A and B are shown apart, each in its own frame.
Chain A
């Protein structure tokens, strides 16, 4: 579970969206705050569904949030 080749821009996007809190993003995506914490630390690769939920919350494409970093 530790380390994933999928990098993300969640922290930056939260900041750009009115300093959205991790809890607010978690609520919007119907996941726990622990999952947002793990995603930001790049310790967890989300399911496709969650990736789309996050991208939709920020009104961007999935590829604008996640990228293959290996």
Chain B
């Protein structure tokens, strides 16, 4: 019997990427909190938006590079994990939007959000990054859970 089944704890590309991306999203959310919500300024906000737009391309590029070196790295099982991440993204993004809507409905929190120029766009952007963080964390957790 081949012994390779003993090495059952091999980390998949998707798991390694999700862990790295979750750490990156955590760092980006801290940066956005400071430069987009606490003291909003246009250029850091634009850079964050740029990084967000490119994030999908980052994954595709990393996967293509890894596949060139090592062959097939993702299949239907990885698609299941990615779908769990998509669900987490939708849940957190929806909750953030609802929270923001509620905050805008009350004068005190509305003043807090609208008094400073660019704070509201920064808060929206922060929500997208937090949703990304939740998605990557959900994918990493799903992989870890499946190895138990």
A9 within 8 A of B: no
A43 / chain B contacts, CB cutoff of 8 Å: 146
A1 touches B76 (CB 8 A): no
A-B contact count (CB 8 A): 60
Q: Which of B34-90 contact A (CB under 8 A)?
A: 71-78, 80
Chain A, interface size category, equals 20 to 34
B1 touches A35 (CB 8 A): no
Q: Please classify the interface of chain B as helix (H, G, I), strand (E, B), loop, or mixed, using the class held by over half of its residues.
A: loop
- The answer, among A2, A31, A47, for a CB contact under 8 Å with B146, is A2
Smallest Cβ-Cβ distance to B81: which chain A residue: A1
Chain B, interface size category, equals 20 to 34
Contacts A30-B75, A34-B77, A47-B76; is A22 near B5 (CB within 8 Å)?
Answer: yes
Q: How far is the CB of A43 from chain B (nearest CB, A)?
A: 6
B33 within 8 A of A: no
